[in-house]
């Protein structure tokens, strides 16, 4: 267990939940997008790093393709919770906001854990790299769509976040930029890091290089 990762993840999780429930205006889309990205792009990989390779790590029995499957699970979670109807429900209900945060955390943590694969190499690392790169692609797409949308999708009233007043369109555009800068870039870095690690790992097979 990497206790530094555990402590950092728990501290950030406490801050995110507190801010989402009691600090941020539920109508401020960009603030809640920031909370979501902290969950999946910072807290989730920290939690996965803390557990990966320990007795708590369940991935030893997982199929190498599990990471790819979980990338589609996270895709569904991210896109479903950004449907305007679901956003509206999260705005008016603390229970729905808690469910939303839990969905992001669980989906993100399982994906990162599967991608790390308990330190195993080869097919697992390759599947993890592909899963993270695909996740980066769909987050990039959603971030661009939110930023470039011709009209606000989440309400029409002006909002205030940390003293900054914004129109609904500006709030949505800022949320899309946050997704691009945090979610898309972190998953891209994770995927390329796994690829680089896989390339640097020598391919050692029994009997390879041994003379008669």
DSSP string, 55-124: TT--GGGS-TTHHHHHHHHHHHHHHHTTSHHHHHHHHH-HHHHHHHHHHHHHHHHHHHHHHHGGG--THH
Asked whether the predicted pLDDT for residue 121 surpasses 70, the reply is no
Residue range 60-99, pLDDT digits in tens: 788 878 999 999 999 999 999 999 999 999 989 999 999 9
CA–CA distance, 94 with 207 (Å, rounded to integer):
61
CA–CA distance, 20 with 47 (Å, rounded to integer):
20
The count of other CB atoms within 10 Å of the CB of residue 186 is 20
Predicted local confidence at residue 7, as pLDDT: 93
| Residue showing tokens 């991608």 | 115
Residue 3's pLDDT band (boundaries 50, 70, 90)?
Answer: confident
Paired with 164 in beta bridges are 161
CA–CA distance, 39 with 10 (Å, rounded to integer):
11
pTM equals: 0.88
Residue range 25-54, pLDDT digits in tens: 888 999 999 999 999 999 999 999 999 888
Residue 208's pLDDT band (boundaries 50, 70, 90)?
Answer: very low
Residue ranges of domains in the chain: 3-199
């Amino acid at each position: 267990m990497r206790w530094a990762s555990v402590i950092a993840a728990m501290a950030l999780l406490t801050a995110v939940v507190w801010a989402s429930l009691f600090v941020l205006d539920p109508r401020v889309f960009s603030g809640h997008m920031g909370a979501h990205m902290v969950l999946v792009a910072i807290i989730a990989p920290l939690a996965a790093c803390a557990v990966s390779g320990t007795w708590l790590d369940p991935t030893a029995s997982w199929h190498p393709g599990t990471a790819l499957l979980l990338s589609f699970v996270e895709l569904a979670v991210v896109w479903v919770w950004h449907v305007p109807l679901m956003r509206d429900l999260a705005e008016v209900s603390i229970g729905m906001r808690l469910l939303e945060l839990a969905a992001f955390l669980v989906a993100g943590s399982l994906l990162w854990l599967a991608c790390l694969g308990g330190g195993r190499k080869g097919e697992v690392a390759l599947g993890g790299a592909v899963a993270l790169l695909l996740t980066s692609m769909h987050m990039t797409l959603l971030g661009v769509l939110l930023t470039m949308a011709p009209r606000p999708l989440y309400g029409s009233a002006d909002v205030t976040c940390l003293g900054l007043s914004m129109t609904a369109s500006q709030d949505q555009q800022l949320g899309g930029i946050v997704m691009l800068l945090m979610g898309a870039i972190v998953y891209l870095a994770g995927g390329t890091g796994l690829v680089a690690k896989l390339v640097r790992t020598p391919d050692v097979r029994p009997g390879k290089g041994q003379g008669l």
